[in-house]
Chains A and B, each alone.
Chain A
Amino acid sequence: MSGLLAVTRLTLYEAFRKRILMAVLIAGAGFLTLYGLGLHFMVRGEGNGMALIERRIFLNMLTLAGLFAANFLTIMTAVLLPVDTLSGEIASGVIQTVAVRPIRRRDIVLGKWLGHWIVMAAYFTLLAGGVLTITALRSGFTPQKLEIGLPLILLEGTVLLTLSIAGGAKLSTVTNGMLAFGLFGVAFIGNLVEQIGTMAQNDAAREVGTVASLIMPSESLWQLAAYHMQPSVVRDLGNSPFSPVSVPSVAMVVWAAGYIVVALTLGVRWFGKRAL
């Protein structure tokens, strides 16, 4: 356990020393400033005759747009931040002096995973918290079911972060990064196919999307999060870009959790067997 925590501490310290946190804070501040300005002007320009329900739909769309951007930035962080943490250190030989210490190889992988997860979660909290705070302060609106939606987005980031770390135990940095983004792309396109297939009542297209979601459940988690954070009227009408036509089932959450466990187990196993 002490080895795991020592690796976690080193990972966090690395994020601090390499000015990764600084870059994250600056990028986050820039994003929130833009979001705040956009929200301010849009709220100011609201039509006077807008009904309460229309205002609520309008603000919900704006907030979900902000959370969608936060989700996207978190995914980028989840993949890019740890993409070379194992593969890079293996290639450079840095890992040798760590692995000869009385630390389990498993703890090296898990320690790095935990350290990067803390950075990613902190970044997501900053972004999502900023979006929600700005929205609440400027308009008094808060989306519903945040306690379901936000953890689902964090779970999506965790899936990609785990994949990025596990892949690094086996693959080179470039291959690992391409694979992680490739799978994310598969999920994104697969989900689009599923939504369109559902609208067109094309079962084959819908099944393609389902298979894509099983290969990489990230997009389904966002769709599910967005579904829960929208008012029922928007969900029923399906008139928002964030309203899924085909709503992912809760089983996808279980699948994603299992996905993380399996990916992490494989990463631990690959790193444990690897010649360093």
Chain B
Amino acid sequence: MTDLVIETRELRKQFGDKTAVEDLSLQVHRGEVFGFLGPNGAGKTTSIKMLLGLVEPTSGSGSVLGAPIGHRATRARIGFLPEHFRFHEWLTGRELLLVHGQFLGMSTRDTKARADALLARVDLLDAAHRPVRTYSKGMMQRVGLAQALLGRPDVVFLDEPTSGLDPLGRLLVRDVIRELREHGTTVFLNSHILGEVEATCDRVTFVREGRTIRDLRLGEVDGSMEVDLRVGSLTDEARTAVARIGRIVEDGAPLSADGPERLRVSISREDLLPELARALVERGIPLYEMRVARKSLETTFLEVMGEDQRPG
């Protein structure tokens, strides 16, 4: 059985003469928390809608859970929280979940038990009898999260799940994503809050102008690790040796005349760390401190997107 939960090849969507998605080619593995990143207008939401069968691709192909995208029976195994969650606001929170249980073909008994558990999980049990129209934006988002998880999905698409949530609400979403990962559920997360992506995702893909342009595994080092060093006076030979292992990003002057020098080196793999230390020590350079400073996702995001993507 394939490990791939989502796979797309050159998926493209054109609305009239406007191309919303140019080339979406990605793979998401089972049990992975996958981040989908890009600036506004990059085609992220259209991409998600194509994967869910809400928008028909103009060309290209793809599969979700091994079936062609939009496959009806497979949709029972998919959960979805849209960016602007809206539902029939005259329903109460509990009724909303019961209605979705009917749409999913779940038994009434199972739906009721599952609805109560989920309402408790998203801290809405007390408000379950109130119409959704009386909910705050955060409550709306949380009941939306509950409906996305109702059918015990194998893959969940979360489009900006924390927009409108206070810090406690964000923590709740983060915890839920963690629980999903523990249960082996694949999470497809679209979020502008990079700290949240960094804290929850295993891997991210950057999308720009409707194209997937870079794939990055978080947690592992893939060109995203920088090492801060405090070393004794560097010889040219030692500097050359360091430069062979990584890229010297910053070569700072010593704080005092005979004090240690500061050096920042970018390396591409974690296993280069001991090699870097060895290169210095073997050349008799005292090593006072060696600290790994991972590049923030925000820095990577800006690098990948390019300065021209910054507004203003």
Q: Which residue of B lies closest to A91 (CB)?
A: B86
CB <8 Å contact, B147 and A99: no
Q: Which residue of B lies closest to A19 (CB)?
A: B90
Question: Given A97-B87, A98-B103, does the pair A276, B75 have CB atoms closer than 8 Å?
Answer: no
B144 neighbours in A (Cβ, 8 Å): 97
CB <8 Å contact, A273 and B56: yes
Q: How far is the CB of B257 from chain A (nearest CB, A)?
A: 66
Residue A247, interface by CB 8 Å: no
CB <8 Å contact, A101 and B75: yes
**A-B contacts at CB below 8 angstroms, number:** 68
CB <8 Å contact, A94 and B54: no
Q: How far is the CB of A169 from chain B (nearest CB, A)?
A: 15
Residue A6, interface by CB 8 Å: yes
Residue A249, interface by CB 8 Å: no
A17 neighbours in B (Cβ, 8 Å): 90-91
B72 neighbours in A (Cβ, 8 Å): 102-104
Question: Given A93-B82, A104-B72, A275-B15, does the pair A99, B54 have CB atoms closer than 8 Å?
Answer: yes
CB contact list, B24-38 vs A, under 8 A: none
CB contact list, A7-42 vs B, under 8 A: 9-10, 14, 17-18
Separation of A3 and B56 alpha carbons in the complex (Å): 21
B80 neighbours in A (Cβ, 8 Å): 96-97, 100
A99 neighbours in B (Cβ, 8 Å): 53-54
Question: Given A104-B72, A275-B49, does the pair A96, B54 have CB atoms closer than 8 Å?
Answer: yes
CB <8 Å contact, B88 and A102: no
CB <8 Å contact, B100 and A101: yes
Residue A48, interface by CB 8 Å: no
CB <8 Å contact, A276 and B55: yes
Separation of A18 and B89 alpha carbons in the complex (Å): 10
Q: Which residue of A lies closest to B151 (CB)?
A: A101
A98 neighbours in B (Cβ, 8 Å): 103
B49 neighbours in A (Cβ, 8 Å): 96, 275-276
CB contact list, B12-62 vs A, under 8 A: 15, 49, 52-56
One of A6, A14, A18, A104 near B102 (C-beta < 8 A):
A6
Q: Which residue of A lies closest to B73 (CB)?
A: A102
CB contact list, A62-116 vs B, under 8 A: 92-94, 96-104
Residue B76, interface by CB 8 Å: yes
CB <8 Å contact, A101 and B52: no
Residue B259, interface by CB 8 Å: no
Q: Which residue of A lies closest to B52 (CB)?
A: A100
CB contact list, B54-106 vs A, under 8 A: 54-56, 72-76, 78, 80, 82, 84-88, 90-91, 99-100, 102-105
B100 neighbours in A (Cβ, 8 Å): 97, 101
Q: How far is the CB of B147 from chain A (nearest CB, A)?
A: 7
A-B contact pairs, 9 of them (CB 8 A): A9-B102, A96-B82, A97-B82, A97-B100, A100-B52, A101-B76, A102-B76, A102-B103, A102-B105
A100-B52, A103-B103, A275-B56 known; 16 other A-B pairs, CB under 8 Å? A2-B102, A6-B99, A9-B102, A92-B86, A93-B84, A93-B86, A94-B86, A97-B82, A97-B85, A97-B100, A98-B103, A100-B78, A102-B74, A102-B104, A273-B56, A275-B55
Which B residues are closer than 8 A to A by beta carbons?
15, 49, 52-56, 72-76, 78, 80, 82, 84-88, 90-91, 99-100, 102-105, 144, 147
